[in-house]
Amino acid sequence: MSTLQELELAAGKPKEVYGEDAKIVCDNLVRIYKTDGIEVQALQGLDLLVRGGELVAIVGASGSGKSTLLNILSGLDTPTAGVARVGGFDLLTMKGRDRLRYRRETVGFIWQQTARNLLPYLNAADNVALPMGFAGKKRRFAKRRADELLEMLGVAYCAGRRPGQMSGGEQQRVSIAVALANDPEVVFADEPTGELDSGTSQQVFDALRTANAELGVSIVVVTHDHEVTDQVQRTVEIRDGRTSTEVLRRGEHGGPAEQFAVLDRAGRVQLPREYIDDLRMRDRVRLTKDPDHIGVWPDLGSESREGE
């Protein structure tokens, strides 16, 4: 019997596949980079579930593993260990032809560098039509869909312009249209507003929200912009290659924020740094179990011993 099964039996849970009904499943995801004999653990057992139609913001310090995660989920990089599944594709075992189809039809991608998203010698409409051509769509269909997407994202007036004739914000909104061209199940955006000022960032973010609301496509967006995280229902923080805390806002236009911690299958929880610091918790905390919650207390015993 595997350890996993033992754990599930011990927890008295019915056997089910983790994240069976989720659009994105990361379970204990690990990515180790090796360069010149030096190992960097970019992802150290990351857990994440995203449901179909969700818009999730991912935040975290530089170097915490956000781009590594998005590169894996978009099929550009392969994980070292763990589980990563998107829309039924297993990203660990996926090979050549499937990988190509996955990247072309299941997911869309928007990079931070505006120049990386669009071909400089094609106008906006042709940039959006291009991936549809690769997927074998008819020219007339592609042209019509490109116009519709540009219209939906508020950049129809840019249809005939090349990237060099558009602002950074306009280019990123056209890039969203390119990402949506083949009607993907998920769109990934890695700091798409990183090079933009805050007013323009807002327009790009509004475009992502429109795409999510109108098309029901799941969107995972990495952002540094904390104002933006006020506008999404779910913000996940990555710390040291693991998902640590989540902020959820329930209700239509984002109710009050509630903070959550990720509970992994081994029962591990990472407490928010500011809570730990405020309560001067260290090394060990005292736990109490109440009928409906668990209390976490500073270990005052050790502090008074220290003071002696």
Residues that bind ligand ADP (CB under 6 A): 33, 35, 40, 42, 60, 62-68
**Helix, strand, or coil (residue 306):** helix
Interface with Mg ion, residue 210, by CB under 5 A: no
40 binds, among ligand ADP, Mg ion, none (CB under 5 to 8 A by kind): ligand ADP
Length of the chain: 308
Distance from chain centroid for Cα 250: 19
Site for Mg ion in 53-112 (CB under 5 A): 66-67
Distance from C-alpha of 209 to C-alpha of 217, rounded to nearest angstrom: 10
Closer of 127 and 201 to Mg ion (Cβ): 201
Pairing mode of beta strands 218-222, 186-190: parallel
- CB 190 to ligand ADP: min, Å: 7
Tell me if 108 sits within 8 A of 184, measured CB to CB.
Answer: yes
Question: Residue 64 CB, nearest distance to ligand ADP (Å)?
Answer: 4
List, as one string, the DSSP characters of 214-237.
HH--EEEEE-S-HHHHTTSSEEEE
Phi and psi angles of residue 152, each rounded to the nearest 5 degrees, phi first: -60, -35
- Residue 200 touches which member of ligand ADP, Mg ion, none, C-beta under 5-8 Å by kind: none
Closer by beta carbon to ligand ADP, 39 or else 283: 39
CA–chain centroid gap for 35, Å, is 26
Least Å distance, CB 42 to ligand ADP, is: 3
The smaller minimum CB distance to ligand ADP, of residues 58 and 232, is found at: 58
Q: Which residues, 6+ apart, have CB-to-CB distance to 275 below 8 Å?
A: 281
Rounded distance between C-alpha atoms, residue 170 and residue 304, angstroms: 60
CB of 151 to Mg ion, least distance (A): 31
Residue among 172 and 182 whose Cβ is closer to Mg ion:
172
Give me the phi and psi of 50, to 5 degrees please. Answer: -125, 130
Question: Helix, strand or coil for residue 270?
Answer: coil
- Smallest gap, in angstroms, from Cβ of residue 67 to Mg ion? 3
**Residue 195 touching Mg ion (CB under 5 A):** no
Name the H helices within 216-268: 226-229
Number of residues interacting with Mg ion: please give it, by CB under 5 A: 2
Both tokens of 97, joined, read 């032809």
Nearer to ligand ADP, 109 or 146 (CB): 109
Contact 216, 52 (CB under 8 A): yes
CB 219 to ligand ADP: min, Å: 17
With CB atoms as reference, the residue minimizing the distance to Mg ion is: 67
User: For residue 28, which phi and psi values (nearest 5 degrees)?
Assistant: 55, 45
Residue 39 CB, nearest distance to ligand ADP (Å)?
A: 9
Q: Is the Cβ of residue 62 or residue 93 nearer to ligand ADP in the bound state? A: 62
Contacted by 62, from ligand ADP, Mg ion, none: CB < 5 to 8 Å by type: ligand ADP
> Using CB distances below 5 to 8 A depending on partner kind, what does residue 131 bind out of ligand ADP, Mg ion, none?
none
Residues lying near Mg ion in the complex (CB under 5 A): 66-67
